[in-house]
Amino acid sequence: MRAPPLALRPTGFGLTFLLVILLTLIGCVNYGLSLGYGLTFLLGGVWVMTATQALRAARGVRVSLAPPVAVTAGGLADFSVSFSGGAEGVLALTLRGGGAQAVGAWPLIGGVSSGTLSVLARHRGPLSVEGALRVSDRLGLWRVALPAPDPQTVLVHPATEQGVPPAPTRTVAGSGDGAQRTRGDEEFAGLRPYAPGDSPRQVSWRHVARTGTLLTRETDAPQGRARLLDWADTAGDPEARLSRLSAWVTELTATGLPFALHLPGARLPVDSGEAHALAARRTLALHAPFPQAVTPPRRPGLALTAAPARSLSLAQALALRGTLLALAVTLAPTALRAPVWLTALVAALLAHAAWRTRPTPPGTQALAPLPTWLLGLLAVAGGAALNAVYGTLLGRDAGTAFLALLVALKTAESRDVRDGRLLILLGLFTTSTHYFFSQGPLTALHTLLCAALLLAAAPGWTAAGLTLTRAALRRAGGLLALAAPLAAALFVLFPRPEAPLWQLPVQGQATTGLSSEIRAGEFSNLAQSDAVAFRADFQGEPPASSARYWRGPVYEAYDGETWRQVRGGGAPASVEPTGPAQAYTLTLEPSGTPWLLALDVPSRVPAGASITGAFQAVTFRPVTTRRRVELESRPARLGRQEDANRLAFNQLLPSSQSPRARALAQTWQGLAPAARVDAALNFLRRGGFTYTLSPPTLPAQDRVDAFLFGTRTGFCEHYASAFAFLMRASGLSARVVGGYQGGESNGDYLIIRQRDAHAWTEVWLPGQGWVRVDPTAAIAPARLSAGVQTALTQPLATAALPPGPLAQLRLRLDTLQNRWNDLVVDYDGERQSDLLTRAGLGGVGQPAYLILLPVVVALTLLPALLVLRRRGRPVDPAAGALHDLSARLRLPRAPGETAADYTARVTQARPDLAEPLGRVLLAYHTARYAPGDPAGALRDLKAAVRQVRR
């Protein structure tokens, strides 16, 4: 008859694991975390693969349950559990009976294993025990119910009273010595056949040696010497009276005196020995009426041990230790970006939890978890402190820091399986938050390591003995490898929405980057940063270094100290192209601003972006994650037809600022507009000005006068601001433009770093429109031809200094980073649509796509299913060697077949292998059952297996 199909269901932990996957998927969709998709789909693949592992582990499992020989009320009924078959799974057995419940879990190793499961025997009498069997994968995500073992009934003897007075001296009535005798230990009465339960001291070994037959000597005693244990000699409730009688039975059996037992409704004749004592205890156990058992409410879940609620058992301590190691690696990046006090607090909480896992000497009390009130106080205080630091708890920096604090607080109070599994889930969720800060290859490797460590630590909360070891880490890595094809297929084909589901502050406050306003010192601070601002990939030859002006914010409002952007109105300015268009792709790093930094002048922007009246390319939502955009620019005359109100606004100056600079510029008002520009540039060239990153501080009042006629030392923002002031004072419209200038060539693309931030001036000339004037180039021409670093040391240089070995290595690493960004990080909805269109699928939602998606998913699962369906090699070394022998001979072992039966079967089929198989069997038994270190026996076993011919 065919066995019924196995019922596979997710566990509560498995459902919560799936919920975490869905939450991370929603976060990836909303914030465009491309690499987060990969981790999410990888964990989803693990969830699917473990279902197959659970089914595979459940096939061929054989379980037998043996009841204990003797049980006393108030003690434990130790049931012997023997199981075989299955592999890479966990067997869980639940026993219920007499109002008590016990749960045990053991790893399946493929061979024969055993264990003990103890049920509390609350009351005397028959104890009926029923069991429930289930097999789960080692992570505990799925379970398969197996047929329950046969119910077992054991007889629970009464508890033995402690400190009981001596047994009564009353004897069984008789007629004296020799008149009527009974069984005793005084005089030899003859021989009889041996019966089970007879004492070895009573066996007549002389007759055994002569005849080979077991005979037992019978002795007797005067009947008047036999004691009488009577119900009437006890007092109190029935259970107390039975406990006293049980103690007297133990006392008389130890002294060897014969006794009779008289109970209401039951009489046991005079006898002695262990068999008679067992019959007496059985009579006491079956005395009616039996105590009433109270069944406690059933609680779902799996307990590794019956440890006290506020202390850790050895199995739980080992599981928590592995989980803490995985969490420490997971939370490590938070220490690099969180406040120092938070890092110290998290480290202290993890250390406290680790200290609780250490073995405690006998008689000493283990370190208890922190009280709930203290943890709550730390959570509230930590949240308030983070809100004071970041101004919110919803942002990227504050949110991830607060999450790290909550995880650390949870470790300090974890005490059972549910807490341990919650830590695993929190660790996986925390791993996905690292992509808010970086999606580079190192971050990908770190998060993959975190996932492997957490998955390797999870089995420790499923069954005792599955701690975080190298083998557990290898199994977790193998599981991730099996899930990788499915994750790759979903990464490519899963729909990528273009717009977020909701908008929350993700990007933390920028430490570098352009600002919406400019004052002295802004760009000199940026010039000290090597951070990448964006990368530019041209379809043809990139423009010359002197033409690489990446246009950013345009500053038109000036109050004497700060230049700010304004929202322009009126008629749009004219744009007249003067050269061919040039297409290129920008990969923007997160900045928190909407600026696209197009090459001056942008002519085409992507969907969701526009060009302002100041010819700046902006997007409708800030660049909070790495974004890839395609742009087009071309040389053009800007604003020959410009709004008169805008031109008038760009001539405004504060009336009481910098009178000397104003007076100088007014002397140029009689010159033609272009001549005024030349006059200002000549003033800078001949004035002894210096280009430096560390200019002296300028006063708030008359700061242009202080710069032009005092310090004469500054960076690009100083020269651009002063030049725009002079132009406005001379009667021309002028404004400051911020952005980047230059870029480092790295093969077929340019790297624009924060140090390339630059400011220049635009002056409106009649008949020409807005004309770019870079006054910094008048002081340091090398700024355009050689870059900022060369210009600071050699202002007149015409070429950049050649990169050194370290710089060349950094460029090679950036090439890898750019390739990674192109293939993985920047894979969004637009690129997915292009890929599907080139593949002939027509895009997401089209019939071809809907047909292909399930087919591809099925194909990615096929190799993993084939691997998981193969008969697994047992984890136990001795059983693994026997498995290798069966594979070597191509004769698999039958389920539950012992090593002796298997070698006998093989010898019958292959008589020529009798001698080597005998050596294998001897080495196997030595490795499995001999005392001492089995390492040498295992080596002999492996050598014996290799000597068996195929």
Which residues belong to the active site? 716, 758, 774
Q: Are strands 259-263 and 227-230 parallel, antiparallel or unpaired?
A: parallel
- 8 Å CB contact between 814 and 746: yes
Strands 617-619 and 609-611, by their bridges, are antiparallel
Question: With 0-12 CB in 10 A as exposed, 13-18 as middle and 19+ as buried, what is 452?
Answer: buried
Helix (H, G, I), strand (E, B) or coil at 390: helix
Report the helix count and the strand count for the chain, using DSSP H and E: 28, 33
- CA 517 to CA 307: how far, in whole Å? 64
Residue-by-residue DSSP string for 496-516? --SS-SS----S---SSS--S
C-beta separation of 490 from 853 below 8 A: no
DSSP H/E element including 535: strand 532-538
Q: E-assigned strands of 39-147?
A: 62-66, 71-72, 76-97, 100-120, 125-137, 142-146
725/664 Cα distance (integer angstroms) = 11
Cα(759)–Cα(716) distance, rounded to whole angstroms?
Answer: 6
Report the candidate in 841, 199, 190 with the shortest Cα–Cα distance to residue 495: 841
Burial class (CB in 10 A: 0-12, 13-18, 19+), 168: middle
CB 102 within 8 A of CB 94: yes
- Following CA atoms 62, 65, 66, 68 in sequence, which dihedral angle do they give, to the nearest 10 degrees? 150
The answer to whether the beta carbons of residues 895 and 112 sit under 8 Å apart is no
Dihedral, 419, 420, 424, 426 alpha carbons, nearest 10? 20
Report the C-alpha dihedral over residues 741, 746, 750, 755, rounded to 10 degrees.
Answer: -40
> Residue 620's CB: how many other CB atoms inside 10 A?
10
CA 635 to the chain's CA centroid: 52
Q: In terms of residues, how long is the chain?
A: 950
Q: What angle do CA 634, 637, 641 make, to 5 degrees?
A: 135
Question: First-to-last CA distance in the chain?
Answer: 35
Cis check for the bond before 294: say yes or no (omega within 30 of 0).
no
Spell 776-804 as b/e; 16+ CB within 10 A means b: bbbbbbbbbbbbbbbbbeebebeebeeee
- Cα 498 to Cα 844: distance, rounded to the nearest angstrom: 12
Q: Are 155 and 286 in contact (CB under 8 A)?
A: yes
How many other CB atoms are found less than 10 A from the CB of residue 121?
25
What token pair was written down for 582?
């040039």
Q: How far is CA 79 from the centre of its chain?
A: 37
Q: Do the beta carbons of residue 78 and residue 847 sit within 8 Å?
A: no
- Token pair 């264990």 is at which residue? 115
CA neighbor of 312 nearest in space, from 412, 422, 405: 412
Cα separation, 541 vs 550, in Å, equals 16
Q: Say how far apart CA 878 and CA 923 lie, in whole Å.
A: 9
Sign of CA dihedral 276, 280, 286, 288: positive
Residue that is written with structure tokens 């459940």 in the block: 58
756's CB contacts (< 8 A; 6+ apart) are 533, 740, 741, 742, 743, 787, 788
